[in-house]
């Protein structure tokens, strides 16, 4: 698969960009350029890089070579039954993301190499086949059922995959809400429903869910991670890959066009139910029912946009946070809540059709703040090291304070 990596000024930045693309593109095995020992194994047996990933172990820099070739060449792995092999990384070159063919190259590479694109996580179908399945994470024991029903034509049991702290899930059929509460002495009274991304076919549970919630709770904000219902997918990974590939072919248009994404009605119902649950249980969770917001990533951001702009006023969040969302123009109500938007300008999806989402809030004369970062791509979660996306949540917290949502309410102390 050919992937145009953003420009790297030093080996350290290149290493982190590689880690980012491993996270975004999923679990991949790359071929060694030579057998002369210049390219050493960088991932040990049993490693999994689906969903959120930490940077690969060193020595990644040993595999970075200067080259006039602007593309990096990687090869998707086949199903091996178990991860008993070393993983070799071979980089043919590092090029700027400002190439005119950036979007076309990425889109063409994805389809030609039978890879699949999930908003929030880009994954290889072969990688999924080798990804160890696992039981649901322990935090679900404390989850609150939302009683919004099941998915029509649900396709078997939920499939959790990845490793501890790096979990994703698909085929969710019933919605749950996982509270992640701050220490009482830190609590500000603010609350946020967290909606991970994943193309409405998967949820990047840890990378865009639990990790975000723990950061917010550490800053005194009660967070509630939403396991919303997803579109049913085939249980077998090869069939799942075909379905995902077909969907993304329909969703992604030509450069300059928006994304043709449909937000499932049951996901919308789950988001609304989550906001209602937090408000109804405000006293139990020590939050202010008038300071309940929503944060969504990628597909979760689209869900957040839909609820913010189309739900009944009583069901809207009090503030909305959209991270690498679709940027198409929408109709914003005259009483819409304040919005905070974070994205990277090298994101091949967000901003494909300009910045209409921002203009929509401006046209409605509603408060909006945009943080657009030079590098970060799609799916940077809480931030990518060595880029300015690392620390974007600090800006979010200042924005919450500016709008009166992050300041502790005396009656809740």
Q: How do residues 276-331 score in pLDDT, each as one tens digit?
A: 999 999 999 999 999 999 999 999 999 999 999 999 999 999 999 999 999 999 99
Q: How confident is the model at residue 71 (pLDDT cuts 50, 70, 90)?
A: very low
Question: What is the C-alpha radius of gyration for the chain, rounded to an integer number of angstroms?
Answer: 21
Say how many residues make up the chain: 413
Count of H-run helices and E-run strands, the chain: 10, 18
Burial 356-392 (b: 16+ CB within 10 A, else e): ebbebbeebebbbbbbbbebbbbbbbbbbbbbbbbeb
Q: How confident is the model at residue 156 (pLDDT cuts 50, 70, 90)?
A: confident
- pLDDT tens digits for 18-59? 444 444 434 333 333 333 433 333 333 233 323 333 333 333
Rounded mean pLDDT of 196-215? 97
Q: Which of the listed ranges 144-158, 204-218, 338-352, 394-408 does the model predict with the highest average pLDDT?
A: 204-218
Question: Which CATH number fits the domain 133-412, given the four candidates 3.30.70.1400, 3.40.50.1820, 3.30.365.10, 3.40.50.2300?
Answer: 3.40.50.1820
- pLDDT tens digits for 96-113? 222 333 333 333 333 322
pLDDT attached to residue 155? 78
Distance of alpha carbon 56 from alpha carbon 20, whole angstroms: 10
- Asked if 48 and 131 count as a contact pair (C-beta separation under 8 A), the reply is yes
- pLDDT tens digits for 226-258? 999 999 999 898 999 998 888 877 777 666 666
pLDDT attached to residue 25? 36
H helices of 113-252, in order, are 125-130, 211-218, 237-251
Distance in Å from the first CA to the final CA of the chain: 54
- pLDDT tens digits for 259-278? 778 899 999 999 999 999 99
Domain ranges of the chain: 2-127, 133-412
Rounded mean pLDDT of 103-131? 36
Secondary structure (DSSP) of 80-138 = -SS--S-EE--B-----TT-TTHHHHHHHHHHHTT-EEETTEEE-HHHHHHSPEEPPPG
219 has pLDDT over 70: yes
């Amino acid at each position: 698969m050919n992937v145009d990596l953003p420009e790297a000024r030093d080996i350290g930045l290149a290493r982190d960009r590689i880690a980012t693309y491993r996270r975004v593109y999923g679990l991949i095995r790359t071929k060694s350029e030579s057998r002369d020992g210049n390219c050493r194994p960088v991932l040990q047996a049993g490693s999994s890089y689906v969903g959120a990933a930490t940077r690969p172990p060193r020595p990644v820099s040993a595999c970075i070579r200067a080259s006039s070739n602007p593309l990096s060449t990687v090869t998707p792995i086949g199903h091996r039954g178990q991860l008993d092999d070393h993983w070799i990384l071979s980089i043919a070159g590092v090029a700027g993301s400002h190439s005119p063919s950036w979007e076309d190259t990425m889109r063409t590479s994805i389809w030609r190499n039978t890879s699949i694109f999930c908003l929030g996580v880009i994954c290889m179908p072969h990688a999924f086949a080798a990804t160890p399945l696992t039981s649901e994470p322990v935090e679900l024991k404390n989850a609150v059922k939302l009683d919004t029903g099941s998915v029509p034509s649900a396709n078997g049991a939920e499939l959790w995959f990845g490793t501890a702290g790096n979990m994703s899930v698909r085929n969710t059929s019933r919605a749950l809400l996982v509270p992640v509460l701050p220490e009482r002495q830190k609590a500000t009274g603010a609350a946020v429903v967290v909606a991970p991304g994943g193309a409405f076919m998967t949820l990047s549970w840890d990378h865009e869910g639990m990790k975000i919630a723990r950061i917010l709770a550490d800053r005194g904000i009660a967070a509630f991670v939403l396991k919303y219902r997803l579109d049913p997918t085939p249980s077998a990974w090869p069939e799942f890959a075909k379905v995902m590939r077909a969907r993304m072919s329909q969703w992604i248009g030509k450069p300059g066009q928006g994304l043709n994404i449909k937000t499932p009605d049951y996901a919308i119902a789950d988001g609304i139910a989550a906001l209602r649950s937090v408000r109804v249980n405000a006293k139990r969770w020590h939050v202010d029912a008038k300071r309940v917001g929503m944060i969504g990533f990628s597909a979760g951001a689209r869900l957040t946009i839909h609820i913010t702009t189309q739900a009944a006023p009583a069901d809207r969040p009090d503030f909305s946070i959209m991270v690498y969302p679709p940027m198409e123009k929408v109709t914003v109500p005259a009483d819409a809540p304040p919005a905070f938007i974070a994205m990277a300008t090298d994101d091949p999806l967000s901003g494909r059709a300009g910045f209409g989402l921002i203009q929509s809030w401006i046209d409605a004369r509603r408060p909006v703040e945009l943080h657009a970062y030079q590098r970060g791509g799609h799916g940077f979660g809480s931030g990518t090291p060595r880029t300015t996306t690392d620390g974007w949540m600090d800006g979010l917290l200042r924005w919450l304070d500016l709008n009166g949502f992050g300041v502790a309410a005396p009656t809740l102390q």
